[in-house]
Each structure stands twice: as C-alpha cells, then as structure tokens.
Structure 1
Amino acid sequence: MSINELTKKLKNEAYSSLYLLYGKEKYILEYSQKLIVQAVLDEGSADFNLSSYDMEEQPIEAAIEDAETLPFMGDHRVVIIQNPYFLTGAKVKQKVEHDLKKLEQYLQNPSEQAIVIFIAPYEKLDERKKIVKALKKQGEVIQAEKMNVQLQKEWINHASKEANVKMTDEAVERLIELQGENLGLLIGEVNKMALYVGEGGVIEPSIVDELISRSLESNVFTMVEHVANRRIDAALRICYDLLKQNEESIKLMALLARQFRIILQVKQLKAQGFTEKKMASILSLHPYAVKIASRQSRAFSEEELKDLLIRAADADFEMKTGQRDKQLSLELFMTGIHKAKQTN
C-alpha cells in the first residue's frame, strides 16, 4: 500500500486492526506511524490509549495483553511493536523469550478495538514464517523501500504540497544534488524553505542555494569541480571552511580520493557505452553522484586519474604515519593536482 492510499483510508476512518511497516527508510516508517496514530487517536485520548513495546527488551505477550485491553475514554487503543526481529530470518541473541504461538493466535483474531502497528526496520522479512504470512494477509502493509530519485522527488513534492508551497522541478533536483539521499533531511529542508517563502510561495533553485547548507559530500564534489576547472583558490577556501568546522584532514583526503575513484570508474564505464542510470546501478551510487562524476571526468584523462589515486594513497600514508602535517599533506595534494593540470 502506498502512502497516498493509506492517507485516503485513514481520512475515511477505514482503519485496519493490523499494520506492518517495514524497510530501511526510517523517515517513511516514522511518517506512516505518525499518520496512523494521529488519525486514530485525538490528543486527549493518546495519553491513555497509546503504548509502545520494544521486542528486543519486552515480550510479545505484554503487547498482546495491552491490545486486548479495552480502550479508556476512546474508541481504540494503539499498540506499537518496535523491532520485531522474529519476523526476519536473522539470527539474533535473544534478550527475552517471546510466545510466538500467542502472537499467531492474535493475528488470526485481532481485537476490533485495537490498532497494532509493527515497525520492522529491516530490508527483508522471512516470507516462510507463519506469522509473516498471517500478518501480510490480515493487515495493511507499507514497505519503506530504499529511495531512488523518482521516489525522492515524489516525497519532496508531497512535503511541499503539505506545506502549501510550490517547488519547481529544477529546485527539487538542486535540493537532492546539494543535500544527498537522506529523506528525513530532504523533507526537513523543504519545510525550512516553506517557512521562508510563506504559504502560496514558490521555491526556486536560487532559494535552495541561499538556504540549504551543503552536505559534506556536496562540498567535496564542489572542491573537485573547482580543481578540475583550475580554480584552486576556490577549492582551498572550501577546504579551509570545512577544517574550521572541525572536519578532519584525513577524512577530507579520503573523500577526495573516493570521488576521484568514482570519476575513474565512471569514465571507464562511459567508454564502454553504459548509460548513467546503468552506471549508478553497477556502482551502487545515487544517480546525481554519477551525473556529477560524468561531468567531472571530462577534465581528466584515465592516466591522470590513476596517478591521482596513487598520490592520494601516498598522502593518506603520510598523514597516518605522522611523516607530514595532516593539513599540509592535504594542501599539497590539492595544489599538486592543479599544477599537474597546468603542465598537461
């Protein structure tokens, strides 16, 4: 079930006794849970009729007993079951014993006055298990699947619509490029910009550039972009700003090396005729990271990139063994790229 379908059902008070929310995208799990709780309980009854149980710390029987208890001053109880690892095939050292037979019995005949929400932050469930089959059959299922670009755009547009603002397609793309893949951070930035432009306002790329703080990876992309275009002063300014923000020289060196490694891989794959979408899949990268690397690869030959990776490894060794001051090693690496580009 999609979030839109869930929203429509909740507005029509078409509640399910059982909800299974699973997947690795934390924001979707939290958002879906919030939608259900707010739809079922008002503020007055939430204090009495909302409870949460962590299956890594508490037995399932306690949650079931709560679900079978009549609601107080309301029509429903909401019981949240966190970390139900017994729905997966993973081998976990159990801290508590769970009576899963009792859970199976409850799933066959859930209380009509209880809304039980299973929050399973796992990529996969064990479909062979009876409780998983019963839960999927009896309840509503929402999968918080890993984000791709299209899903990110849909969520960003959904958030801007909820905030009563319009966000241009170019602004959406710019936000993803600057902020990265974390959906929770992306939505938080949308809400921040919505407050800035006000209800009915329009979020343009210029607003994104003005308000959004760049992620560390985005700053590294920009540093490499400056170096590729022989703007070494601009690259060093970003570097010094990051160091003032207490970023470690070794960490920055590692991220620069990673970016040049990605650029080399993209250059080699592009030469073999792969599309950016296919390259993103092969390299397990966000499509925007591949797009940027593809653009940056034009400024370097394959041999230059291989040489840069050797230099990066040497600089990393110098830093970690104390042969040279860490910041100086980083500066020399960056100016060395610039000088190499000038002589080629």
Structure 2
Amino acid sequence: MVFDIWKQIRAKSFTPLYLLYGTEPYLINETKQLLINHALSPEEIDFNLSSYDLEETSIETALEDAETFPFIGERRLIFLHNPFFLTAEKSKAKVEHNLSRLESYLKDPAPYTIIVFSGAYEKLDERKKLTKQIKKSASVLEAKKLNESELKVWIRDRAAANGVQIDEEAVELMLTLAGTNLFMLTSELDKLSLYAEDEKRIDVKIVEQLVSRSLEQNIFTLVDKIVHRNIEEALRIYYDLLKLNEEPIKILAVITNQFRLIYQVKELARRGYGQNQIAGYIKAHPFRVKLAAGQAKLFSDEELVQIMNLLADSDYQMKTGGMNKALLIELFLFKLNRNALESK
C-alpha cells in the first residue's frame, strides 16, 4: 500500500485527506516529504504549508486554516500531528476538541487543501465512529516494518529515484550487511548511488566495498564464520571490532543475542512454525529470522546448548572476574573451535 500511495503522490494524484500512522517512522517521514515536494512549489511552502500538534492546538483552529484559500498557488498542505482521539490511548493533551466539527469537515473537505493526520501509533481504535470515518475518507498508510520482499522493492525504488539501477544480488547483500533499518539503508543507498553515478549501476562488488557494517551486522558475519568453523576469519573480525573501540562486553552481548535467536528459530521451526510466525512470536524482523534459520541448520541441539553455556560462563567471568575482557572472547572462540573439532 505504501508504494501505491507514493506512486500517486509522485504523479500528483492527491486526495484531500491522508492518515499516516504506525511504528516505522521512516515511512511516515518519507511520505510527508513526498507530499511537500510534489504538492507545493518551493515558493509556496512559506505561505501554504502548516503544521499543528493536536495535543496543543484545537482541531477547530486547524480546520479554519484548511478552509482558508491559498494565498498563492493551487493548494494548502496541513499536517495534523498526534490525533490521539483516534486511539484508545490516554493523552495528556492540553486542549479539548470539538470533534463534531471534524466530522462535518470530513463529509465535505475543502478541495484546495490536503490534510495529513500523522501519529506514531501502533494501532487505532477501530470502535470509534470518527476513526472509521477518517479511514473510509482518507488515503491510509499503516507504517509498519517492511517484509523481505517489500524491502527489496523499496531498495530498488530508492535506487531508481537516485537515477541508478541495483542488481538483485546487490540488493540481497545490502540487506545482509546493512540490516533492515530504513534510515541506515537510505544513507548507504545514497552513498552507493553517488559512487555509481557514472556507470548508473550498483553491483555486488560496490556493495561489498562501500557498505558500512553496523555492530550487529559485523557480529552476524562473525557468527557466520563461527558457524562455518572458520576461527581465523572470526578472530580477524573480532580484532577489527576492537580496533573500532567496540567494548568486549557489548560484543559478547550481541554474539549471545544472535545465538539465542538461532536457538529460538531452530526450536520453533521444529514445532512447525513458519518463518513469518516465528518472526511475530519472537518479535524479530522476518529477514533476520530467515538468516538465522540458515545458520541453525549447521548446529545440533546439543551444540547450541553447549554454546549458550559457554557464553553464559564468559558473561559471568567478564562481569565478576579479573581476567582481561578482550581475552575472554578469544577464549570463547578457541573453546568453540576445539569443541567443534572434537565432535567431528
């Protein structure tokens, strides 16, 4: 749905009302920016763009603005933030709203004004008459985490907006290296697009060379080396993390979280859960679950229990013992490698 709305906005096919809500701030912010860029010219922004916080300003004030003809240009664009009256949440709003006034406006919105309701709410109160009325009248964007296929569409769309093409293998590698955070991916894609400006194409080689790895993605790669019993590469990545001044206790915590994820995915898959069900159950992104599922196949249950015990022991010693913290993770990696060799 988000891509449909963006396509309509870029084509300047606007509706009088938009409702943006959800817990993925990037999608809400991007939609707002698209509306500003396509609904108003730069000269019109100072005169025809308004923004109100509905926890501080009455809806009557905002609607009076909406019903005022634009000073110059064809339309007005008005953002109404925090429409708490559409939710079941308790609000500390400093103002009371005459919602019947809003109900009347929704039946006959001003043709020269675009109103955008925007709130970082996980869900709305569907029992309320006003919520139903707005959802029926408005173009609705529920900003939630994109699944793997949606992320790939978004990456290709962002690259195209930057005037470059990205190979399918490069898309996959980007998600593996940079993760699924849309703000991070935007920064990386914009950087790659500038680098590929002459060739107009982003391939795997460019992604491998230029994409910045987050700590979590570096740890994922480290764990992947552990999974494939490549202790030398695992240690190299670990030493690189230390050079970047990453704290050993933080590195250990992220390693532990990754192995806990692998263990959970393996256990839930054995119980018959699909990957999307697992992602919902443990509240992890489906792409992370997919990667963990691939890693889980390379461990027996006994090995995973043993690894979790080694990690717990390392954590205890790191927090209570006098041993060098950086050395403790090295010892963990060596023990893991030794146990793997002994089990063969």
TM-score by length of 2: 0.89
Moved more, 22-31 or 59-68: 59-68
Between stretches 324-333 and 116-125, larger displacement belongs to 324-333
Give distance in 1, aligned partners of 2:183 and 2:206: 19
How far apart are 1:143 and its partner, in Å? Answer: 2.4
TM-superposition CA deviations, 1:311-333 (whole Å, max 9, x none) = 21222222233554432333322
Q: Within 5 Å, which residues of 2 pair with 1:173-212? A: 173-198=172-197, 201-212=200-211
Are 1:21 and 1:144, in contact at CA under 8 Å, matched by a contact in 2?
Answer: yes
How has the CA–CA distance of structure 1 residues 322 and 104 changed in structure 2, closer, same or farther, with 3 Å as cutoff? farther
Corresponding position: 1:136 with 2:135: yes
CA distance in 1, matches of 2:292, 2:135: 42
Aligned residues: 343
In the alignment, which residue of structure 2 is the partner of 1:29? 28
Partner of 1:7: 7
Cα RMSD (Å): 2.5
Structure 2 CA distance for aligned equivalents of residues 97 and 283 of structure 1: 39
Partner of 2:244: 245
Instruction: Report the CA distance shift for 1:10/1:132 in structure 2 as closer, same or farther (over 3 A).
Output: farther
Would the aligned equivalents of 2:86 and 2:128 in 1 still touch at CA under 8 Å?
yes
Q: Please show how residues 1-344 of structure 1 align to structure 2 within 5 Å.
A: 1-8=1-8, 11=11, 13-198=12-197, 201-271=200-270, 276=275, 279-344=278-343
**Does the 8 Å contact 2:56/2:93 carry over to 1?**
no
- Mark the CA change 1:328 to 1:194 in structure 2 (over 3 Å): closer, same or farther: same
Secondary structure of 1:188's aligned partner: helix
> CA shift at 1:277, angstroms?
5.2
User: Partners in 2 of 1:44 and 1:116 — Cα distance?
Assistant: 20
Alpha-carbon contact 2:9-2:35 (below 8 Å) kept: no
Percent identity reads 43
Is this contact kept in 2: 1:23–1:146, CA < 8 A?
A: no
Query: Contact 1:19–1:140 at 8 Å: present in 2 too?
Result: yes
* Cα distance per residue 1:40-80 (max 9 Å; x no partner): 21001101111111233433333223223332222222111
Give the distance between the partners of 1:267 and 1:76, measured in 2 at CA: 55
Change (3 A) 1:91 1:233: same
Q: CA deviation at 1:270?
A: 4.6
Mapped partners of 1:48, 1:217: distance in 2: 45
Q: Residues 104 and 130 of structure 1 are in contact (CA less than 8 Å); yes or no, is this contact kept in structure 2?
A: no
Please report how far the alpha carbon of residue 279 of structure 1 lies from its aligned counterpart in structure 2 after TM superposition. Answer: 4.3
TM-score (norm 1): 0.89
Change beyond 3 A, Cα 1:133–1:276 = closer
Contact 1:164–1:199 (8 Å) recurs in 2 = no
CA distance in 1, matches of 2:113, 2:319: 57
1:165–1:199: 8 Å Cα contact kept in structure 2? no
Deviation of 1:275 after TM superposition, in Å, equals 5.3
In structure 2, stretches of 5+ residues that fail to align are none
1:247, CA displacement in angstroms? Answer: 2.6
Q: Kindly tell me: are residues 22 and 271 of structure 1, through their superposed partners in 2, closer, same or farther at Cα, counting changes over 3 Å? A: closer
Deviations 1:6-40 (A, max 9, x none): 533652x4432211122222222122212222222
Query: Quick one: structure 1 residues 327 and 55, their matched pair in 2 at CA, closer, same or farther if it must change by over 3 Å?
Result: farther
Q: Distance in 2 between matches of 1:244 and 1:182?
A: 25
SS at match of 2:299: coil
Matched letter for residue 134 of structure 1: Q
Contact preservation (8 Å) 1:50, 1:77: yes
Cα shift at 1:269: 4.2
Amino acid at match of 1:4: D
Letter of the 2:3 partner, please give it: I
Structure 2 vs 1, CA of residues 137 and 277 (structure 1 numbering), >3 Å: closer, same or farther? closer
CA contact 1:164–1:200 (8 Å) conserved in 2: no
Deviates more, 1:113-122 or 1:170-179: 113-122
| Cα 1:8–1:268 shift into 2, 3 Å | closer
